[in-house]
Amino acid sequence: MNFDRDPASDTFRAEVQAFVRDALPADLAQRTLRGYHALKADMVAWTRILHSRGWSAPHWPVEHGGPGWTPLQRFIFEEECALAGAPPTCTSALSLVAPVIYTYGNAAQKQQHLPPILRGDTFWGQGFSEPNAGSDLASLKTRAVRDGSDYIVNGQKTWTTEGHFADWLFCLVRTDAQAKPQRGISFLLVDARTPGITIRPIISIDGAHSLNEVFFDNVRVPQANRIGDEGQGWSFGKLLLDNERAFSAEVPRNKRMLARLKAVARTQGLLGDPVFGTRIAEVEVDLAALEWLTLRALSEHGSAAAAAWPAGSVLHVLGSELQQKTGALLVEALGERGVVDYPELHETAAPPGYPPGPEHAPGVAADYLYRRAVTIYGGSNEIQRNLIARHLLGA
C-alpha cells in the first residue's frame, strides 16, 4: 500500500484540461451539460477533434491508433472531458466492438473497421439483447444459418442504443441450435444497410429516441464478417465486460451530476438548507467512495489482486444507484418546476413558447427519467448482486 504523491498524474491532468478548454466548442458543452441525449453531429464533431490530437480511442493499444495511456490516464481523461461537458463518443464502436475486433479479428477485419471507428466515420450499434433474452442473454434466438459463403440471419434484437445512427451492427447470433446455449453463439458484424434489416425507434420514458429494436428478415451476411470461430461469440462478450469493469462506476458522469446538483441547489437557495445540504453531503461521501473504489480497480487491473473482489459488479451497483440518487435530488431541488415536461432543447436559448422555469431546469427531469435504465442495462443490479453473492459464497 502506497499513497505517495504522483506528480506525473497531475501533469497529465493539466495537459488534458488545457486541451479540452481550448478544443471543446461551447455550444457542444452547453448542450451536453443539459443532459439530453447527444446529437449525432456533436458526437462526430467531438470524436474528430479528439482524433486530430490522437485521443479518440483512449484505451486502444498504440499499434491500432490508441495513445498508449495507462488505465489511470484514461480515467483522468474521461473525467476531465465529462466535467467540461464534452459529448460522448460512440461507445458501442470505440469501447465495445473495437476491442473485440483488434483482439480477435483477422487482418482484413481490423483494416476495414478500426480506422473509420477511430476517425468517427462509422457508428455502431449493439445487437445483444432480445425481447426474450435480457438477463438470460445466453437464451438468445436470432439465428444465423450458413448459405454458401454467407449466413442468413433471422430474428430480432432490442435496446440498441443509437441504432438509428448506426452504419454497422455487432450481433450475437445462434449458429448452432444443438450445442449448449453459450457454445452455439457467434459474433457477427452486420452492415446496417443490408436489405432485410428494419430499425424501429423505442421511445423511452424521457420521451426521447435513443433506443431501437432491430428486425432481421432473411438478412444475408458474409461469413467473412464473423469474428473468430463459430461458437466463440459468448466469450468475446465476456471479454468486453471484463475490459470495462473498472469503468463501470461512471465516476466522471457522477461527478458531473454532483457538480450540477450543487449549481442548481445554489441558484435555488438550497445549498445552505441543513436538510438538503446534508443529503448533498451524502452524495459527496458516496462519490468519494466510488472514486477510490475505481482508482483501486484501475490500479489492480490485470493483477492477481483484481480477483480478490467482484469489482465490476460492486462498481456497477454503486455507480448506477448513485446516478439515480443524485438525479432525484436534482429534480427535487427544482421544486415544482422539477416536474415540468421540458422538451429536448438543443438550441442555445429556449425558443418562443418553450415551458417557463429556471434556466437550468431543462434536461434535469429527462436525464433523471432516462437514468432509471442504468440499474437495468449491462446486467441488472439484481444480477450484479447475484454475482457478488456467488463470489462470496462460492456457488
Partner 1 sequence: MDFALDEEQSLLRDSVRRYVDQEARFSPRHWAQFAQMGWLGAALPEAVGGFGGSIIQTVLIAEQLGRGLLVEPFVPVAVLAAQALLAAADAEPARNALGALIDGASIVVPALGQPAGMQVSAGGACLSGQQTLVVGGPRADCFLVAAPEGGGLSLFLCAADAPGLLRHDYRLLDGTPACDLQFDAVPAQAVRRVGGQGDLDLALCHAQLARCAQAIGVMDRAIDATREHLLQRQQFGVPIASFQALRHRLADMLIAHEQARATLHGALAALVTRGAGPQATRALAIAKALCGRSGRFIGAQAIQLHGGMGISDECIVGHCFKHLLVFDSLDGNTAAQLRHLAAAL
* Contact residues for partner 1, defined by CB under 8 A: 1-6, 72, 262, 265, 271-272, 274, 277-278, 280-282, 284-286, 288-293, 295-296, 299-300, 303, 305, 309-310, 314, 317-318, 382, 384-386, 388-389, 391-393
Show Cβ contacts of residue 197 under 8 Å, excluding neighbours closer than 6 positions.
169, 190, 214, 215, 216, 217, 219
- What amino acid positions are annotated as catalytic residues? 244
Beta bridge partners of 168: 124, 191
Q: How far apart are the first and last CA of the chain?
A: 31
Write the burial class of residue 356 (CB in 10 Å: 0-12 exposed, 13-18 middle, 19+ buried). Answer: exposed
| Cβ distance to partner 1 smaller for residue 179 or 305 | 305
CA 243 to chain centre: 13
Q: Is the dihedral of CA 9, 23, 360, 250 positive or negative?
A: negative
- Give the three-state DSSP class for 206: coil
CB of 149 to partner 1, least distance (A): 47
CB closer to partner 1, 203 vs 288:
288
- C-alpha to C-alpha distance for 255 and 230, rounded to whole angstroms: 42
The contacts of residue 111 (CB under 8 Å, 6+ apart) are none
Task: Report the nearest approach of partner 1 to the CB of residue 200 (Å).
Answer: 35
Residues across the chain = 395
Q: Among residues 172 and 249, whose Cβ is nearest to partner 1?
A: 249
Residue 208 or residue 387: which is nearer to partner 1 going by CB? 387
Output the CA–CA distances (angstroms, integers) from residue 125 to 141, 187, 209, 257, 319, in the order listed: 18, 13, 14, 26, 23
> What is the closest distance, in whole angstroms, from the C-beta atom of residue 237 to partner 1 in the complex?
23
Q: How many angstroms from the chain centroid is the CA of residue 326?
A: 18
Pull the grid cell for residue 148. Answer: 454458401
Task: Report the residue number, 295 or 350, with the smaller CB distance to partner 1.
Answer: 295
In the bound complex, what is the minimum distance in angstroms from residue 306's beta carbon to partner 1?
A: 10
Residue 393's Cβ-count burial label (10 Å; 0-12, 13-18, 19+) is exposed
Pick between residue 321 and residue 344 the one whose CB is nearest to partner 1: 321
Least distance CB 104 / partner 1 (angstroms): 30
Query: What is the radius of gyration, based on Cα positions, of the chain?
Result: 22
Q: Do β-strands 124-127 and 168-174 pair in parallel, antiparallel, or remain unpaired?
A: parallel
CB of 379 to partner 1, least distance (A): 13
Burial of 241: CB neighbours in 10 Å, binned 0-12, 13-18, 19+: middle
Q: How far is the CB of 267 from partner 1 (least distance, A)?
A: 14
Phi-psi region of 126 (alpha: psi -120 to 50; beta: other; left: phi over 0): beta
* Rounded-to-10 torsion of CA 93, 96, 97, 103: 130
Given the complex with partner 1, which of 204 and 324 has the nearer CB atom?
A: 324
